[in-house]
């Protein structure tokens, strides 16, 4: 229990000497007595009419087991269970959304990776073709084309009378 006396602001304990005004507000008996002794005739909390003669003693019974007293309130427990169930449901929804997003991102990433691999394969194939062509060109220039041209040009540009000297 976490209830305070509105005149002294101290916590009210079930073992305290307590009084209740006709409006229903409860105070330490000495506190409300002091308040009324100053000439006021009202409740210190709600200002409704209250005289010393109208005060009633209040007796509270303290529960031996605090958790037992909480368990006695099934409506409160049900409320707590409902609130927790709702929170769990919200978290599950968030988790599912996050998983779906991760899956989507994963699929996107996989597609990008595949695209990249395809581009890499194409690059490699073009490079291979280029190397092949280069090798072929080298072979051609080294062994045939230039010497042919050289011979032909020598033949063409050599004056006729000198041709058979070579
Ligand atoms: Zn008090
Ligand atoms: Zn009151």
Q: Which ligand is nearest to the CA of 11?
A: 1
Cα–ligand 1 centroid distance for 12 (angstroms): 7
pTM above 0.85, yes or no: no
Q: Identify residues whose C-beta is under 5 A from ligand 2, the ion.
A: 23, 25, 43, 45-46
Domain locations in the chain as residue ranges: 18-58
Cα–ligand 1 centroid distance for 30 (angstroms): 7
Cα–ligand 2 centroid distance for 59 (angstroms): 18
Cα–ligand 1 centroid distance for 32 (angstroms): 7
Work out the average pLDDT over 38-59: 94
Residues 67 and 26: their CA atoms lie apart, in Å, by 25
Q: What is the pLDDT of residues 64-120, one digit of tens each?
A: 765 555 555 777 777 888 888 888 888 999 899 999 999 888 888 888 899 999 999
Confidence band of 53 (pLDDT split at 50, 70, 90): very high
Confidence band of 136 (pLDDT split at 50, 70, 90): confident
């Amino acid at each position: 229990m976490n209830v305070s006396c509105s005149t002294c602001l101290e916590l009210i304990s079930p073992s305290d000497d307590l009084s209740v005004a006709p409006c229903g507000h409860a105070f330490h008996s000495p506190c409300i007595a002091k308040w009324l002794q100053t000439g006021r005739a009202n409740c210190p909390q709600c200002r409704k009419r209250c005289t010393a003669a109208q005060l009633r003693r209040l007796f509270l019974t303290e529960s031996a087991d605090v958790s037992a007293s909480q368990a006695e309130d099934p409506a409160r427990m049900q409320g707590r269970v409902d609130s927790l169930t709702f929170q769990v449901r919200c978290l599950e929804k968030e988790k599912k959304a996050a998983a779906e997003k991760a899956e989507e991102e994963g699929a996107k990433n996989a597609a990008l990776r595949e695209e990249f691999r395809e581009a890499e394969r194409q690059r490699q194939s073009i490079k291979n073709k280029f190397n092949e062509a280069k090798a072929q060109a080298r072979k051609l220039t080294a062994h045939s084309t230039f010497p042919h041209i050289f011979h032909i040009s020598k033949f063409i540009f050599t004056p006729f009378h000198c041709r058979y000297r070579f």
